[in-house]
């Protein structure tokens, strides 16, 4: 017997820098570790558990579906999958849905669809994808290449060809990168999430739509982190002046059950015919049952309006806290994705907040990214602000 079997923490690949706590239970906006200590979650499992941990209606839907049908091949229809697909189409600008298991898979599907479309409409040289510096699109070889951050690409060369990166909100650079013969798609996040909660300007988004239309290219919105209610509308594009051709979803779609989805307009999706792409577990009945319960709550309650109200309140409190904090460069965000960017790294901030009982994310050492569940209360926001004020005073002293 391998001696490591007696040391379970040594059996997991070290692909994450983990905090030294073992979470055993969650309820609403709170989590508990194996020592009984309680935490308020301002991460939502990185924008996943938007309705809170162990949301009762999602739990009930999963339990009921698991007792009826756990898995069946996509050679057959299932009711949970059909319900989610029809709901997403009914409430978006798209016509069809491809199901998979994660955000990276959804982006991979979109890249394949864009190339298929480009080859069919403009020839085999039409395969390039324009993406943005600072973007994040996943961890597969294609999606780290699409990602505009070299830190995720180092050591994995040679990277797949066919991706061009332009600066955020630089319309002229976008126009110069576009190529009538080669550009198959433009791939953007309406708000860059992992890249630092950086919104794309309306003018730049309008330019992506205009360039794509001029070329006959596909406009893809990666809404994996900022879709599904995070900005206060079901889709993030609804708060922009443009409609994309393709939308990539995952994370909050099933509140923690693994699922991804690539939505597209019919005139684009028709280029992925039978046998062109697949996913064994995509649209799994249990995952889709969870997603159905999530969508019901998004669409049949006032939760999205609450996201806007709570997001405005969180941003107001953050601005008040930081207005005389000289180390702060900017507060930015929309809905319940908010961030503080500092002038210099704060490598201890996430650990300090954890000791105080709050889960948070610090990106690149410089950006405190806040992604609380939609059911977060104002009193919990106030507790977080008061705790962050302690940190501020410690830095100032």
Coil, helix or strand for 180? coil
Give tens-digit pLDDT for 48-102. 999 999 999 999 999 999 999 999 999 999 999 999 999 999 999 999 999 999 9
* Rounded distance between C-alpha atoms, residue 10 and residue 192, angstroms: 34
Question: 357: exposed, middle or buried (C-beta count within 10 Å: 0-12, 13-18, 19+)?
Answer: middle
| CATH 3.40.640.10 in the chain, residue ranges | 56-300
Give me the count of residues in the chain: 397
| CATH 3.90.1150.10 in the chain, residue ranges | 33-54+302-396
Coil, helix or strand for 365? coil
| Res 22: pLDDT | 96
| Res 370: pLDDT | 98
Average model confidence (pLDDT) across the chain: 96
Q: Which residues are catalytic?
A: 136, 222, 251
Q: Which fold has domain 33-54+302-396?
A: 3.90.1150
Coil, helix or strand for 349? helix
Give tens-digit pLDDT for 327-360. 999 999 999 999 999 999 999 999 999 999 999 9
Q: Which fold has domain 56-300?
A: 3.40.640
In the chain, which ranges are E strands?
Answer: 23-27, 30-33, 38-41, 96-100, 128-132, 163-166, 183-188, 191-192, 198-199, 218-222, 246-249, 260-264, 328-334, 337-342, 358-359, 361-363, 367-370
Give tens-digit pLDDT for 12-33. 999 898 999 999 999 999 999 9
Please, which pLDDT band fits residue 364 given cuts at 50, 70 and 90? confident
| Residue given tokens 């070329």 in the structure block | 215
| Res 5: pLDDT | 58
Please, which pLDDT band fits residue 321 given cuts at 50, 70 and 90? very high
């Amino acid at each position: 017997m391998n001696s490591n079997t007696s040391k379970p923490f040594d059996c997991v690949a070290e692909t994450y820098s983990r905090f030294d706590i073992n979470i055993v239970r969650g309820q609403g906006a709170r989590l508990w570790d194996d020592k009984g200590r309680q935490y308020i979650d301002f991460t939502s499992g990185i924008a996943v558990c938007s309705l809170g941990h162990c949301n009762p209606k999602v739990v009930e839907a999963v339990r009921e579906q698991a007792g009826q049908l756990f898995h069946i091949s996509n050679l057959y229809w299932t009711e949970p999958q059909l319900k989610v697909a029809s709901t997403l189409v009914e409430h978006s600008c798209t016509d069809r849905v491809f199901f998979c298991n994660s955000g990276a898979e959804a982006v991979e599907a979109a890249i394949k669809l864009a190339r298929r479309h480009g080859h069919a409409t403009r020839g085999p040289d039409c395969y390039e994808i324009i993406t943005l510096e600072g973007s994040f699109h996943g961890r597969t070889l294609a999606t780290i290449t699409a990602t505009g951050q070299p830190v995720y690409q180092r050591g994995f060369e040679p990277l797949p060809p066919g991706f061009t990166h332009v600066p955020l909100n630089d319309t002229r650079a976008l126009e110069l990168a576009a190529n009538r013969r080669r550009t198959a798609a433009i791939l953007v996040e309406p708000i860059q999430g992992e890249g630092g909660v950086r919104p794309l300007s309306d003018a730049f988004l309008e330019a992506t739509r205009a360039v794509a239309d001029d070329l006959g290219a596909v406009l893809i919105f990666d809404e994996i982190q900022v879709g599904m209610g995070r900005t206060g509308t079901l889709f993030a594009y609804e708060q922009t002046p443009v409609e994309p051709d393709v939308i990539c979803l995952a994370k909050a779609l099933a509140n923690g059950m693994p699922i991804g989805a690539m939505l597209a307009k019919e005139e684009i999706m028709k280029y992925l015919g039978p046998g062109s792409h697949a996913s064994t577990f995509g649209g799994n009945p249990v995952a889709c049952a969870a997603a159905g319960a999530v969508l019901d709550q998004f669409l049949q309650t006032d939760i999205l309006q609450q996201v806007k109200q709570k997001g405005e309140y969180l941003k107001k409190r953050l601005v008040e806290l930081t207005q005389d904090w000289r180390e702060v460069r900017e507060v930015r965000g929309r809905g319940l994705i908010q961030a503080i960017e500092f002038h210099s790294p704060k490598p201890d901030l996430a650990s300090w907040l954890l000791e105080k009982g709050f889960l948070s994310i610090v990106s690149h050492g410089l950006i405190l990214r806040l992604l609380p569940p939609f059911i977060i209360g104002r009193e919990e926001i106030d507790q977080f602000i008061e705790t962050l004020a302690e940190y501020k005073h410690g830095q100032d002293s």
